[in-house]
Amino acid sequence: MTTATSTAGLTDAEVAQRVADGKTNDVPARAARSVSEIVRANVFTRINAILGVLFLIVLATGSLINGLFGLLIVANSAIGIIQELRAKQTLDKLAIVGQAKPMVRRRSGTAARLPNEVVLDDVIELGPGDQIIVDGDLIEEANLEVDESLLTGEADPIDKDIGDKIMSGSFVVAGSGAYRATRVGREAYAAKLAEEASKFTLVKSELRSGINKILQFITYLLVPAGLLTIYTQLFTTDAGWRESVLRMVGALVPMVPEGLVLMTSIAFAVGVIRLGRRQCLVQELPAIEGLARVDVVCADKTGTLTENGMRVSDLKKLTTDDAGNVLAQLAADDERPNASMAAIGEAYGTPPGWTVTAKAPFKSATKWSGASYGDHGNWVIGAPDVLLDPASPQAEQAERIGALGLRVLLLASSDVAVDGSDAPGEITPVALVVLEQRVRPDARDTLDYFASQNVTVKVISGDNAVSVGAVAGILGLHGETMDARNLPAGPDELASTLEEYTTFGRVRPDQKRAMVHALQSRGHTVAMTGDGVNDVLALKDADIGVAMGSGSSASRAVAQIVLLDNKFATLPYVVGEGRRVIGNIERVSNLFLTKTVYSVLLAMLVGLAGLSSKLFGTDPLLFPFQPIHVTIAAWFTIGIPAFVLSLAPNKERAHSGFVRRVMTSALPSGLVVGIATFASYLLAYQGRAATETEQTQASTAALITLLVGALWVLAVVARPYEWWRIGLVAVSALAYVVIFSLPFARKQFMLDPSNAALTAMALGLGIVAAGLIEVIWWVQGAVLGERRRLWRSASD
């Protein structure tokens, strides 16, 4: 053991001076996007810019009613800003609760402080599991080992001596010490990486990338359709510039998927808020989506399936030595006791007051710790199956006790000092310490939930394999148990073993990470839960890392999700929220993409007809709709229903292939609606000589056909039905009946359904389109192998 003269730390006056000089750890907190940045990001969007230009063009014509779509700019921005601010507020509050709080030593005393309260030259104490938050120089150490794998990729712990550099982003594996902060804030080594990783973001999301692909596809359609529409409406119709401009804008506005990105952002933001109410901190938004796709959950036993606290239930003496005094002294000399040592400290009274001559901290790799007390001997405490010959009677006795689901530690004396290179040396068993852990009352229900969802659970623990298997059996998790010391080294063999076995004990930290990699190599999406420093590597490399709020600061730092209330039972809610986001955004995407497809197709057909009139001298074709028509069409077939569907409960399992499924659904439906609408308009159109009334009647007929088809797309997207979904479709349809029935509404929205023949024809074509959409839906289900259901079952 190496030590240096203890440093008392800074005075309050010195701290105040450094704060005044700006020498503070001012790295932005998680979700630190400012209010002004949120406002700018939601107001100055590409879609708002397009709609804004079109809105100004319509205003230039003097037709205010046709500029009603401009309200979309206000609605898009306001809803986005409000939801993101709410999500930011939730994340900020939870992030403060879940932040690592280093022990800062000052003249006024040592206390846990928030990272942003640390200043230059502060003295920070270190213990097992602590995350190192700023760079510094080591001034005290006692068997200190630091893992820098998150910075360098090297997994082996590094022994640190006084004077060595301590790098932010690393964490303590074993031992203790103190260091003086030399670089804080944005100057610290890992600060930039941490700042980037901590932003409120939607990156690395299959859902987000899928929507970007859809938007790229839409962009390719918009350019030629838009140019063709502008040319034909302005230069071939001879309808006057105001009428031509209005028809042009009426064609362009519905091509823009104004709500798709907005609804996606809202769905994620609402997910953050809902999970925040359950004390679940989502440190990276795609984790909500990612956990919904997980098919293997690797769960640590201690702190996940069992509660953190332990109690000593028995002491099996193997010799006449006074084991109680030894245990009391070992517990008293452990500055950062783990759960086992804390339980021993509570069970045994005042220590005899021996002087420590050597110490060996607990390490996950060795599974023991100890201390030397000069004439009072050398003592080690740790895993019986590691310290003893497996064939010895004491080891067999420990196995029998462990088979009951209890944790067993061996107290033994050694013939060498515990800090020697040959430690623990030759040991003499003295006593078996039996510790009892309570199984979490909600753990079984959580495991049952995952089983019902075809999610495989693997219990991976550093504890004795027999004990881990017993706990798994108590929770109803059946399957073979393996001691990780017998795991094959090859990745293929390891992957095959993981498919065969369910429970693993005596797993080293590097093995946990290798097991995650092996499962991923077989195509599994893996979630890892844990709370200790030995879980950090696996948490980092898993597809989704889930840490307990009471766990080490290092495990919380690398996890995407932190369960601040330490409840394993919160995970099903996270899965459910992810499924809600994925399923609902898929529904919403179907609506918006269908609208874009039929809008682009209709514009192309009208444009081509306009070109043919130029070439062959036929009557030019005005676009059927003015902006107000497409605005009211979007209200109840897309806008309001999409908002409701994006926030609705949804327990359907998440599937990959988001873009493929949305495209195969929206493209045929959009084509059917577009062709039917164009046919209806052609049949009703009276040509160049048409009066204003006849033109309005033709536009109304086309709109009726479009609405019937679009409403049936909504009816299909809303499946499987339950009462409120049927109500949503019915209310949407009823809204249009009201609009077409009220004289005031007909006048304001430029509608004229008075021509019975045209209205009947339009309804007939709309019903035909609805029938085709229905057939397409059933055929798609057969082709894609997806079971189609009209009604939601009780088990959903």
Tell me which residues are annotated as active site: 300
Backbone angles phi, psi at 274, to 5 degrees: -65, -45
Listed in sequence order, the residues at least 6 apart from 14 whose beta carbon sits closer than 8 Å to its beta carbon are 121
Residues 55, 253: Cα–Cα separation, whole Å: 9
| Alpha-carbon gap, residue 89 to 727, rounded angstroms | 34
What are the two backbone dihedrals, phi and then psi, of residue 80, each rounded to the nearest 5 degrees? -60, -45
Query: How far does the chain reach from its first CA to its final CA, in angstroms?
Result: 60
CA 234/CA 248 separation, integer angstroms: 8
Name 573's Cβ contacts closer than 8 Å, sequence gap at least 6.
275, 278, 280
623 in Cβ contact with 247 (< 8 Å): yes
Distances (CA, A) of 565 to 203, 287, 298, 310, 568: 27, 18, 19, 18, 9
Within a 10 A sphere around the Cβ of 151, how many other Cβ atoms?
A: 15
Distance CA(157)–CA(629), nearest Å, equals: 68
Burial degree of 767 (CB within 10 A; 0-12, 13-18, 19+):
middle
Task: Name the residue among 255, 261, 288, 287 with its Cα closest to residue 589.
Answer: 261
Distance CA(694)–CA(702), nearest Å, equals 12
Question: What residues contact 84, with CB distance under 8 A and at least 6 apart?
Answer: 33, 38, 41, 42, 200, 265, 269
Cβ distance 371 to 379 under 8 Å? yes
**699 CB burial (10 A radius; 0-12, 13-18, 19+):** buried
- From the number of C-beta atoms within 10 Å of its C-beta (0-12, 13-18, 19+), residue 391 rates as exposed
| 371 alpha carbon, distance to own chain's centre | 44
Kindly report the length of the chain.
796
The token duo for 620 is 């030019």
Interatomic CA distance for residues 411 and 318, integer angstroms: 9
> DSSP letters of 318-333?
-SSS-HHHHHHHHHHT
Inter-residue contact 678 to 752 (CB < 8 Å): no
Query: Which tokens go with 170?
Result: 């690393």
Rounded-to-integer distance, Cα 569 and Cα 592, Å: 36
Q: Which run of H or E residues covers position 460?
A: strand 456-460
Burial of 783 (C-beta count, 10 Å sphere; 0-12/13-18/19+): exposed
Tokens 């098919």 -> residue: 295
Residue 269 tokens, joined:
């933001």
- DSSP character for 729? H
Three-state secondary structure call for residue 120: coil
Contact predicate 506/262, CB 8 Å: no
Amino acid symbol at 701: A
- Report, in angstroms and rounded to the nearest whole number, the Rg of the chain calculated over CA atoms: 34
Bridge partners, 743 (sequence order): none
User: How far, in Å, CA of 599 to CA of 55, rounded?
Assistant: 18
Q: Return the structure tokens found at 94.
A: 């939870």
Q: Which residues contact 604 (CB under 8 A, 6 or more apart)?
A: 224, 225, 228
Query: Are 181 and 120 spatial neighbours (Cβ–Cβ below 8 Å)?
Result: yes
d(CA 483, CA 461): 10
